Structure 1
Amino acid sequence: MVEKRLEWARWAEVIAGVAVLGMAAWWLRSSYGLSRIPGWAGLALGAVLIWIGIQRLRFGAQRGGLGVVQLDERRLTYMGPLTGGMIDLDDLARLDFDGTGRPPHWVLTGRNGTLLAIPINAEGGERLFDAFSALPGLSSARLSGIVMKKERQRVLIWKE
């Protein structure tokens, strides 16, 4: 039961976007003149919600791997059966995607040389989308695109 509820939660932004689009379309259909402006704004908002939701779904498509990811106040912690560690996102110097691993890994490098490798299918890995999207100059489309391409080499995604 809990697993199904969590699965639906992954679709929340897409569902909200469709609902906003529907209400905006109704508003546009039943209003005239300047009162249609909120309807146009609603269409834009609904489209943005759907786009962001799809990016998140693409990023977090892999699940069921080993280890757990936690994110608390910009401190990222990975606890795995063989490795683990923590890194503050403010101390992050480099982010790589290592597609040579099985499963592929996110490799985070701190300013002091600390390395943290997190499998893309680790439990709670969807939290990384927001954490990585907050890095300056890194787009959410690039993040989800790299996961969907399934690169088979190590790729630099972001560098300080």
Structure 2
Amino acid sequence: MADFFRPEAKATIWRFRDVWGALLVLALGVWWSITGLGFVTWLGYIIAAIGVMLLVAGIQRGRFRQGSDGPGIVQITERRLAYFGPLDGGVMDINDMSRLSFDPTGHPAPYWVLTGPEARDIAIPTTATGAEALFDVFSALPDLKTEKLLGVLSDPPAQRVVIWQRPVHLLH
């Protein structure tokens, strides 16, 4: 029974695991809104709306995940990001990040390039272990366009592209 699914199908199902949970919540909400009476009907509508929001977030997270078999490990602890790679790495406070770029020319996988103080870069492969947690970090950046972030993964550009940059405040 373990060989019932092809490895590629298993990987896709696992990549979009948040979607499956959201579909269950949505199905429960729709079921309660159709079959329930009184308060349960309204509760079903609320649960169905929550299911739709979880579904949208799950699809975004699934599109962001690229695998976890790449080089290095990403850890995020109390708004401090650490990447431990085989050749390099670094630690950066998320609040100190000034620019987020995507480099599709990286080897063996494309890289997220995070620029911090003194223009110091940390290049993190999209397939590094724990890199899926970067979605939450990137989503918290002010004025980041999520569709632009996900678009570079589905349709990679030919060269490095800046996805987000901290606004510069001029004195006058």
Partner of 2:8: none
The reply to whether residue 110 of structure 1 matches residue 116 of structure 2 is yes
Aligned residues: 154
Change (3 A) 1:104 1:50: same
Q: In 2, distance between residues paired with 1:141 and 1:33?
A: 39
Provide structure 2 residue ranges, at least 5 long, that are not aligned to the other structure. 1-10, 167-172
Partner of 2:165: 159
Among all aligned residue pairs of Structure 1 and Structure 2, give the percentage whose two residues are the same amino acid.
44
Q: In 1, distance between residues paired with 2:16 and 2:111?
A: 24
Query: Quick one: which amino acid aligns to residue 63 of structure 2?
Result: R
Structure 1 stretches of at least 4 aligned residues deviating more than 4 Å after TM superposition: 7-12, 32-35
Larger mean CA deviation between 71-80 and 136-145 belongs to 136-145
Residues 75 and 88 of structure 1 are in contact (CA less than 8 Å); yes or no, is this contact kept in structure 2?
yes
Residues 71 and 127 of structure 2 are in contact (CA less than 8 Å); yes or no, is this contact kept in structure 1?
yes
Which among 41, 46, 59 is matched to residue 64 of structure 2?
A: 59
The reply to whether residue 86 of structure 1 matches residue 91 of structure 2 is yes
Larger mean CA deviation between 81-90 and 60-69 belongs to 60-69
The reply to whether residue 99 of structure 1 matches residue 104 of structure 2 is yes
- Give 1:64 deviation, angstroms: 0.8
Q: In 2, distance between residues paired with 1:137 and 1:33?
A: 41
Length-normalised TM-score, structure 1: 0.85
Query: Quick one: which amino acid aligns to residue 147 of structure 2?
Result: A
Residues 129 and 143 of structure 1 are in contact (CA less than 8 Å); yes or no, is this contact kept in structure 2?
no
- Give 1:136 deviation, angstroms: 0.7
- Give 1:29 deviation, angstroms: 1.2
Length-normalised TM-score, structure 2: 0.80
The reply to whether residue 149 of structure 1 matches residue 144 of structure 2 is no
Q: Aligned to 2:130, what secondary structure does the other structure show?
A: coil
Q: In 2, distance between residues paired with 1:101 and 1:10?
A: 22
Residues 17 and 62 of structure 2 are in contact (CA less than 8 Å); yes or no, is this contact kept in structure 1?
no
RMSD after superposition: 2.0
The reply to whether residue 23 of structure 1 matches residue 28 of structure 2 is yes
Partner of 2:170: none
- Give 1:157 deviation, angstroms: 0.6
Residues 63 and 123 of structure 1 are in contact (CA less than 8 Å); yes or no, is this contact kept in structure 2?
yes
- Give 1:49 deviation, angstroms: 0.8
Which of these two proteins has the greater Rg computed from alpha carbons?
Answer: 2
Provide structure 1 residue ranges, at least 5 long, that are not aligned to the other structure. 1-6
Higher strand share: 1
